[in-house]
């Protein structure tokens, strides 16, 4: 029976790709006006079903919370739409009159969309919209723990797109989920690109598939708080970012790094906004339930609230706690909570000054978040510049909740649920993914003229030889002497042969 199920899942993936390819061949001929009408209707459907999809996601996965999942779905619908609605993705998208170049957008084809369990519906809305905006079809592979809500989100997007004039099959979603089906989807000859959001192993598999892939890495985001910061606002934003949807966004804060001179005041402010600081014994208990012994976060606590984690660890916390904070002395295996935790737990470090803080942040990033993001709370622009120049990350988020700032909800970054981490993390891009990452650009280049050539003097070989001789002070060769030496050598050789 298991073999039959695997075969069914493989065939389903193939059928969905076949339908998507047929649909994309029609969609590629749509005008900009037709495409824009389709994504407008998809936006409307996403907004109308945001609450329903949020409830389904929380119910099925047990991760996050209803209110924040609603926000994510609205964000993926309305905010993403507003950021891409005027974007040119059809025909000539740019003319450079000075260099006489036209740039023409072409869709890449069928996209494989890998969906995580942490953001199972908002990711579908977002990826479907940017795919169709760039005239691509997309087939989704859900996480096994989020199949129903992911499939429902894809169905809603598909129905809205078709009602607006898109061809049938332009958005598909695998129902019989298996690793075989996901692999088949990623490696299918008709799939042109992979848009991967998920765990490190899955993203690595996407990059190893032989297809162009856009993926992300883990985000072990440090939040550095410097002495010039507004401490009350910093505390508010850190707790807000970490507790948003119970820490399921990869850009959410994972550790606080505070200068010693303001650490006590910051702790007071953090407690004011709902942070509960653990004592050394509680840190050990929480470490044992949050992190696995062989590394990585325990799936049971991903997206869970502090109360759930406290009960699992056997500790007592105040009723209104929004996140747990663990004071730590170092980074690495001896301090398990120094790694990425997609839940409501933060590490906390004290540092002597910003120089030490800078090094601590790099340690945290190298432990599992390199290339992703870093938050800094400071009003010292020179210091912010130092951090920006030295940190191996692609998003420096200043005085904002990292979770929302990274995806572009509270910053000017492109609204996105796929955050590139650059070559530091083995990613092919270093920015937030938009429809412009899902197109090929043809260029028409006009003749600008023949470059002017400077006249080159033709040198006479004899002149060159005479010039060389003039520079070489050595005496001329005695040709008669050379001939005499040759005769003597030949005479000697002949005598040997005889």
Catalytic pick from 173, 250, 358, 421? Answer: 250
**Within 10 A of 320 (CB to CB), how many other CB atoms are there?**
8
Q: State the angle between helix axes of 260-272 and 231-243 in degrees (0 to 180), rounded to the nearest 10.
A: 60
SS3 254: strand
In terms of Cβ atoms closer than 10 Å to its own Cβ (0-12, 13-18, 19+), residue 96 is exposed
**320 Cβ contact list (under 8 Å, min separation 6):** 274
CA triple 376-436-412, angle to 5 deg? 25
Residue 22 sits at φ, ψ, to 5 deg, of -60, -45
CA triple 364-367-369, angle to 5 deg? 75
Beginning with the edge strand found earlier in the chain, give each strand of the sheet holding 171-173 in spatial order: 171-173, 137-141, 110-114, 191-196, 213-214
Please give the Cα distance from 432 to 300 (Å, whole number).
29
Please give the Cα distance from 81 to 416 (Å, whole number).
11
- Asked whether 188 and 49 are in contact (CB, 8 A), the reply is no
Cα–Cα distances (Å) from 383 to 66, 292, 354, 358, 377, in that order, read 38, 36, 8, 10, 10
250 tagged catalytic:
yes
**Polymer length of the chain:** 498
Torsion angle of alpha carbons 45, 51, 54, 60, nearest 10°? Answer: -100
User: Within its chain, how far is the Cα of 451 from the centroid?
Assistant: 42
Please give the Cα distance from 256 to 375 (Å, whole number).
9
- Asked whether 377 and 397 are in contact (CB, 8 A), the reply is no
Residues labelled as active-site residues:
250
């Amino acid at each position: 029976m298991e073999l039959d199920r695997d075969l069914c899942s493989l065939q389903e993936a193939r059928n969905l790709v076949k339908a998507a390819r047929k649909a994309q061949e029609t969609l590629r001929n749509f005008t900009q006006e037709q495409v824009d009408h389709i994504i407008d209707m998809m936006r409307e459907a996403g907004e109308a079903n945001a609450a329903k999809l949020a409830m389904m996601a929380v119910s099925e996965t047990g991760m996050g919370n209803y209110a924040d999942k609603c926000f994510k779905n609205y964000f993926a619908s309305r905010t993403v739409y507003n950021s891409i609605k005027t974007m040119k993705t059809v025909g000539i998208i740019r003319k450079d009159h000075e260099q006489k170049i036209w740039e023409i957008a072409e869709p890449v084809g069928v996209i494989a969309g890998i969906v995580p369990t942490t953001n199972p519906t908002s990711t579908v809305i977002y990826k479907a919209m940017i795919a169709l905006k760039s005239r691509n079809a997309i087939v989704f592979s859900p996480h096994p723990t989020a199949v129903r809500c992911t499939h429902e989100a894809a169905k809603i997007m598909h129905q809205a797109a078709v009602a607006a004039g898109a061809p049938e099959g332009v958005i598909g979603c695998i129902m019989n989920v298996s690793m075989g089906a996901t692999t088949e989807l990623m490696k299918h000859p008709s799939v042109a690109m992979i848009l991967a959001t998920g765990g490190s192993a899955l993203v690595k598999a996407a990059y190893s598939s032989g297809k162009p892939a856009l993926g992300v890495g883990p985000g072990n985001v440090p939040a550095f708080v410097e002495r010039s910061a507004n401490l009350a606002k910093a505390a508010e934003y850190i707790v807000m970012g970490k507790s948003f949807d119970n820490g399921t966004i990869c850009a959410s804060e994972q550790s606080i790094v505070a200068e010693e001179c303001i650490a006590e005041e910051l702790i007071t402010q953090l407690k004011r906004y709902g942070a509960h600081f653990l004592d050394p014994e509680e840190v050990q208990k929480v470490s044992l339930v949050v992190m696995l012994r062989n590394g990585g976060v325990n799936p049971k606590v991903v997206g869970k609230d502090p109360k759930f984690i406290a009960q699992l660890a056997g500790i007592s916390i105040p009723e209104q706690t929004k996140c747990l904070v663990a004071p730590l002395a170092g980074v690495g295996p001896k301090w398990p909570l120094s790694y990425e935790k997609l839940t409501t737990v933060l590490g906390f470090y004290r540092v002597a000054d910003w120089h030490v803080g800078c090094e601590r942040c790099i340690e945290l990033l190298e432990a599992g978040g390199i290339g992703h993001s870093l938050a800094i709370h400071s009003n010292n622009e020179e210091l912010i510049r130092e951090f920006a120049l030295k940190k191996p990350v692609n998003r420096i988020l200043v005085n904002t909740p990292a979770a929302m700032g990274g995806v572009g909800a509270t910053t000017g970054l492109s609204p996105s649920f796929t955050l590139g981490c650059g070559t530091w993390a083995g990613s092919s891009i270093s920015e937030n993914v938009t429809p412009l990452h899902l197109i090929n650009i043809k260029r028409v280049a006009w003749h600008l003229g023949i470059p002017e050539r400077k006249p080159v003097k033709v040198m006479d070989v004899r002149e060159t030889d005479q010039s060389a001789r003039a520079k070489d002070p050595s005496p001329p060769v005695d040709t008669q002497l050379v001939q005499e030496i040759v005769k003597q050598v030949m005479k000697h050789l002949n005598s040997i042969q005889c």
